[in-house]
A and B are shown apart, each in its own frame.
Chain A
Amino acid sequence: QVQLVQSGAEVKKPGASVKVSCKASGYTFTSSDIYWVRQATGQGLEWMGWMNPSSGNTDYAQRFQGRVTMTRDTSINTAYMELSSLTSEDTAVYYCARAAQRDKLDYWGQGTLVTVSS
């Protein structure tokens, strides 16, 4: 069965960076894009960008340009999302999701809580 398992919760200080991993299993990792979506506490979903695990091509939401980097390691079927220059407004749960097609995020990771606090 398809699974996306994310890394554990993180606590970071303002100005630091965080790198969240998303390990895929149960399907061919390079066959579907990986999207990253975040959700602040009590708020809605926010699209951050996507990565093609086969080519490594990425596309980031404008508001995260210059601060986010999405990468992958195909040898271990894992995608990564790194966000830098963290502020308290980046405190949120970060999700990875498999995109069977652009409008079809059919499998989601369990989420990773990132807390930014001094």
Chain B
Amino acid sequence: QSVLTQPPSVSAAPGQKVTISCSGSSSNIGDNYVSWYQQLPGTAPKLLIYENDKRPSGIPDRFSGSKSGTSATLGITGLQTGDEADYYCGTWDTSLSAGGVFGGGTKLTVL
């Protein structure tokens, strides 16, 4: 059971837009930055978004992030077949068992 809650799967057609939600609490998302990672099959995770809405160099602006209260959202526009992957949100938790926490991951299928 992950501390952050994501939908197990989402799907959309090529060229369309999709959003992936990440729900937490006041001790994690509510009080800390959120990052997003893309994991292609058989590879290590790759940073897509940090500080809620910032993109590292080399990440196209088709990927966007936002945060409101205790939830965060990853948006992907102009879907491509190469975007099929697992997506994870992550943040810090400042509760008694402080540390890094991740969502359970969302499998994106581009139909």
Contact = CB atoms under 8 A, between A and B. Distances in A.
Partners in one complex: yes
A45 B45 contact: yes
**Interface residue SS majority, chain B:** strand
Interface of A: 35, 37, 44-47, 49-50, 59-62, 95, 97, 101-106, 108-111
Which has the most chain B C-beta neighbours within 10 Å: A35, A62, A108, A111? A108
B71 to A, nearest CB: 16
Interface stretch (B9-17, B77-85, B90-98): B90-98
Interface of B: 2, 32-35, 37, 44-47, 50-51, 56, 88, 90-92, 97, 99-105
Contact of A103 (B33, B45, B99, B105): B33
A66 B91 CA distance: 24
B2 A103 contact: no
B91 A103 contact: yes
A103 B50 CA distance: 6
B99 A59 contact: yes
